[in-house]
């Protein structure tokens, strides 16, 4: 077994996408850029910068091209954008993004509500995206939303995830895949088991990610169970910014700083500096109209930042 | 491996002890009794009813004798009381309790602050308690407070826990033992590793419990990692009532309803009815002066109560 301090995890930051889009009033582009820069300074190595979607659907993303222009050529952080269809993919490519996240839901009801088409239509779009980008150096990720629970249909059976994944991986065999707990209602043991099952059925080359929310208080545990199942990429939002419009009372993505504490104190390196991350989280929490949920921000800062001393860790 | 729905865990309810004592103004005894009865109705099988301590130190516990009289002979729920010394043990016995929880801290600084004596003096008191109760049908539990982190000294090294445990188990070889995350600053992987280490060094007959707080957002994950390490008894407080006087901004014990969701949705039975538990949690949250923290109480009640349908669970 590896020494604990040789283990690593990638915390993929989604505050600029899943977080900002939860705020109704448009944020100043400069403020968004400043926050993104703080997150890069903290050592975030992968980030979802936003979405190329209709500005009518999500006005907060109307300045994507401007933000893209600012960060074009950024090398320290791998930046992706979310797309719901081939139109979004082409826009992203035009704006210099070669790291695309295609989203579709496992449940029909959520897919129709989220991207206004059937699951079959989304799979057709995915096919078009793959065709449009084949032969290029585009990296594609497929986010399987509602992989555990749907705000309309309740618990999502494993077999539904299996079926949609099987179709998607046939279309995009080189893609990275994320199982997403869109509502925050997944429970940790099911997260662990579902990833183990899906990983066993997928090609060895498939890269896996987990996207979670903390609505039911399972956010940190769900992420850890995904990690223990072998998932190396965990999505989260600094300050826990977010909130699902379809789940009243829902909180945002699990707070990056809470996950940072859970992983780093356990000896799993993230490459991120907790003090700078918390400063970025403070700035995010100060955004007007934002809804945040963070535990680390609520405790005395010194206690939040202090790390278990080297040589004072329990052996794994 | 067992089928998931054959697995069980005991959620030991501590709201009447660790929760109520966090409220400064004395609560009406009748209200305390009504809440305890609701928790018993929910199916709670073990509960810490209060402490036999100096009413000067914790005025909230001044009505312990009255509460004890009310619940004497209660059979559905095993009820224990916390004691810091042999004087408390004798009081508990006089009041008909044969289920005692002796508390001492691993860290000197916290033990002096919490029970106003050195760790060595606490161990002497434990020796007296064992002598006074030997030959009787008294069940004894030893709570090792600050087994991970101390509000005064920071992270607590494993070797300190080892040393205090070794002395305590020599004195009380038949006792049940709890490692307590008094401040809520333990991280899940360390909780799992520390339990595995301690269990490997303890007699096979030792029964283990975990006591946790959610201050740093690790509450649910810490409990699950303890469970996965083999711990069958998890302490929690309905509504997450509590708050540590020595950790500014600290929240209470991990909410029983959040743990109930985590375990039951994962196929681990608790014997507790979530709907009634949430009603009890609502009543606790309505107590004046109480500080609560619960995720399940914040989501729509129907979604909080609904359980993953039988036959729709991922295999373990």
The mean of the pLDDT values for chain B is: 92
Q: Does A217 touch chain B (CB under 8 A)?
A: yes
Radius of gyration of chain B (CA): 18
Q: Which residues in B lie closer than 8 A to residue A215 (C-beta atoms)?
A: 295, 299
A274 to A20, A45, A218, A265: CA distances (angstroms)? 21, 14, 22, 11
- The predicted pLDDT at position B252 comes to 85
Quote the pLDDT of residue A4.
45
Q: What domain range is A99 assigned to?
A: 4-304
**CA-based nearest residue in chain B for residue A255:** B217
Residue B310 located in a structural domain: no
Report the residue from A155, A214, A306 with minimal CB separation from B309: A155
Q: What pLDDT is recorded for position A1? A: 38
**B28-45 pLDDT, tens per residue?**
999 999 999 999 999 999
Chain B residues in contact with A262 (beta carbon < 8 A): 187-189, 217-218, 221
Indicate whether A276 belongs to any domain.
yes
Distance CA A179, CA A104 (A): 11
Mean pLDDT of B200-211: 95
Q: A309 and B155 in contact by Cβ < 8 A?
A: yes
Query: pLDDT band at residue B1, thresholds of 50, 70 and 90?
Result: very low
pLDDT score for A58: 85
- State mean pLDDT over B102-131: 96
Average pLDDT over residues B135-147: 94
Minimum-distance CB partner of A266 among B187, B215, B313: B187
Amino acid B244: pLDDT: 57
Classify residue B58 by burial, with Cβ atoms within 10 Å: 0-12, 13-18, 19+. middle
Nearest CA in chain A to B188: A262
By the 8 A CB rule, do B113 and B206 touch?
no
Nearest beta carbon to residue A158 from set B197, B216, B314? B314
Q: Is A125 a member of any domain? A: yes
Annotated active-site positions of A, please? Answer: 244
Question: Which pLDDT belongs to residue B219?
Answer: 97
Whether residue A84 lies inside any domain: the answer is yes
Is residue B177 within 8 A of residue B165, CB to CB? The reply is: yes
Q: Is B197 domain-assigned? A: yes
The whole-number pLDDT of residue B5 equals 46
- Looking at residue A313, what is its pLDDT? 83
Q: Is A314 among the domain residues?
A: no
Q: At residue B2, does pLDDT exceed 70?
A: no
The residues in A 218-257 lying below 8 A from B, measured between CB atoms, are 218-221, 224-225, 247-251, 255
Tell me what percent of the residues of chain B surpass a pLDDT of 90.
78
* CATH number of A126's domain: 3.20.20.70
Angle among Cα A229, A98, A222 to the nearest 5 degrees reads 20
Residue B6's pLDDT band (cuts 50, 70, 90): low
**How high is the pLDDT of residue A5?**
46
3-state helix, strand, coil in chain A (%, to 5): 45, 15, 40
Instruction: Kindly report the backbone phi and psi dihedral angles of residue A102, in degrees, each rounded to the nearest multiple of 5, phi listed first.
Output: -95, 130
Distances (CA, A) of A14 to A179, A209, A232, B240, B262: 15, 13, 16, 29, 25
pLDDT per residue as tens digits for the range A43-61: 999 999 999 988 788 888 8
CB-CB under 8 Å, B303 with A258: no
pLDDT computed for residue B92 by the predictor: 93
Q: What pLDDT was estimated at residue B310?
A: 67
Q: What is the pLDDT of residue A3?
A: 46
Low-confidence ranges of chain A (pLDDT < 70): 1-6, 243-250, 310-311
Please answer yes or no on whether B187 and A316 come within 8 Å at the CB atom.
Answer: no
Query: Would you state the pLDDT for residue B187?
Result: 97
Residue of B nearest to A309 (CA): B155
CB contact B312 to A (< 8 Å) = yes
Q: 3-state SS string over B221-243?
A: HHHHHHHHHCCCEEEEEHHHCCC
Average pLDDT estimate for B171-179: 97
What ipTM was predicted for this assembly?
0.95
Q: How far is A26 from chain B (nearest CA, A)?
A: 27
Structural domains of chain A, count: 1
The reply to whether B205 touches chain A by the CB within 8 Å rule is: no
């Amino acid at each position: 077994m590896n020494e604990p301090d040789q283990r690593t995890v990638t915390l993929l930051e989604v505050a600029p996408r899943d977080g900002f889009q939860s705020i109704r009033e448009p944020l100043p582009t400069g403020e968004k850029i400043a926050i993104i820069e703080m997150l890069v300074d903290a050592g975030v190595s992968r980030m979802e910068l936003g979405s190329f979607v209709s500005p009518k659907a999500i006005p907060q993303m109307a300045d994507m091209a401007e933000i893209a222009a600012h960060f074009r050529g950024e090398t320290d952080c791998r930046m992706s954008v979310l797309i719901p269809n081939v139109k979004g993919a082409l826009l992203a490519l035009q704006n210099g993004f070669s790291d695309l996240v295609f989203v579709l839901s496992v449940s029909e009801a959520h897919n129709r509500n989220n991207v206004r088409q059937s699951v079959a239509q989304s799979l057709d779009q995915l096919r078009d995206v793959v065709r449009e980008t084949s032969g290029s150096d585009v990296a594609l990720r497929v986010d399987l939303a509602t992989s555990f629970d749907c705000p309309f249909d309740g618990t999502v059976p494993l077999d539904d995830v299996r079926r949609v994944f099987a179709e998607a991986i046939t279309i995009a065999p080189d893609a990275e895949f994320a199982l997403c707990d869109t509502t925050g209602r997944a429970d940790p043991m099911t997260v662990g088991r579902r990833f183990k099952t899906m990983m066993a059925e997928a090609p060895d080359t498939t890269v896996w990610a987990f996207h979670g929310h903390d609505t039911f208080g399972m956010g940190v545990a769900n992420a850890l169970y995904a990690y223990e199942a072998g998932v190396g990429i965990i999505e989260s939002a600094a300050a826990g910014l977010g909130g699902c419009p379809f789940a009243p009372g829902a909180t945002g993505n699990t707070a990056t700083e809470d996950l940072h504490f859970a992983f780093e104190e356990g000896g799993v390196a993230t490459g991120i500096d907790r003090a700078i991350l918390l400063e970025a989280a403070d700035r995010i929490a100060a955004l007007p109209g934002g809804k945040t949920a963070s535990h680390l921000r609520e405790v005395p800062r010194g206690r939040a930042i202090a790390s278990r001393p080297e040589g004072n860790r329990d052996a794994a």
